[in-house]
Amino acid sequence: MSEPHVCTCHDNPYALDKVKVLRVYQLTEKEKLFLFRFEDPEIAEKWTFKPGQFVQLTVPGVGEVPISICSSPMKRGFFELCIRKVGRVTTAIHKLKPGDTVLVRGPYGNGFPVDDWEGMDILLIAAGLGAAPLRSVFLYAMDNRWKYGNITFINTARYGKDLLFYKELEAMKDLAEADNVKIIQSVTRDPEWPGLHGRPQNFIVEANTNPKNTAVAICGPPRMYKAVFESLINYGYRPENIFVTLERKMKCGIGKCGHCVVGTSTSLKYVCRDGPVFTYFDIVSTPGLLD
């Protein structure tokens, strides 16, 4: 695992920066996509992140929440967050309009080791909200297409109305396939859906990737991982090239509050500090990491 990327804009890890909402797009009934821009041009020039990292987004007077960045780090000065309305803070965020300002700190945690993946194929496997952090990996790989081999993005949800970035990915399909990029989108519980039906592991066999030389990134609900791991290994994907990002348990963002600590006394992990990106071996050797 590569070392965490740390923004050098501030010496203080709690430092907050003001960002303006430029665009709000309703993705599903529960999720909105927000485009933010830094107000301070110096911060905008210096601030960057790795795919898989997250920020703490603060609504003054309401609170803060950790959210994975879902845009490409190649777009400097701007970043996108896909936010599901599930509580008091995210409800307040969903009320934001273009022109409003909020506060952000970060980025935090480990990202995916995308530099180590150069020359490899890439297989992305997402379920539900897991499509958000994997979108960052996908867009980064597309921005640096010459660095990587074939790419497959498997994007799934229970119902068609819940498929994140469905329209965006469908619009890219024809051009992507001409560039050896395969996009597979399916649902698991929607009999009215006119497209593909099936769980993520059902489509691994259709990926255009070479199992012996492929970096795999996975994100979704904990119940999916065992079946996906088994399918990947059965098809010959190397365990050391399998990575998972966990969208859960984080609170303070820097490992101080202890809210996200898991494991045993001999193998403690802080999801926010040691993750949120973990290796396959981290997952299978750390009790409670997927609970």
H or E segment to which residue 142 belongs? helix 131-143
70 is in an annotated binding site: no
Q: Tokens 């303006």 appear where? A: 20
Which residue carries 């994100």 as its tokens? 219
Give the whole-angstrom CA distance, residue 29 versus residue 11: 39
Which residues, other chains included, contact 98 with Cβ-Cβ below 8 Å and sequence gap of 6+? 21, 22, 23, 24
Is 257 marked as binding a ligand? yes
* Calpha distance 24→34 (Å, rounded): 5
Burial of 147 by CB count in 10 Å (0-12 exposed, 13-18 middle, 19+ buried)?
middle
Binding residues for [2Fe-2S] cluster: 252, 257, 260, 272
Q: Which residues are annotated as a binding site?
A: 252, 257, 260, 272
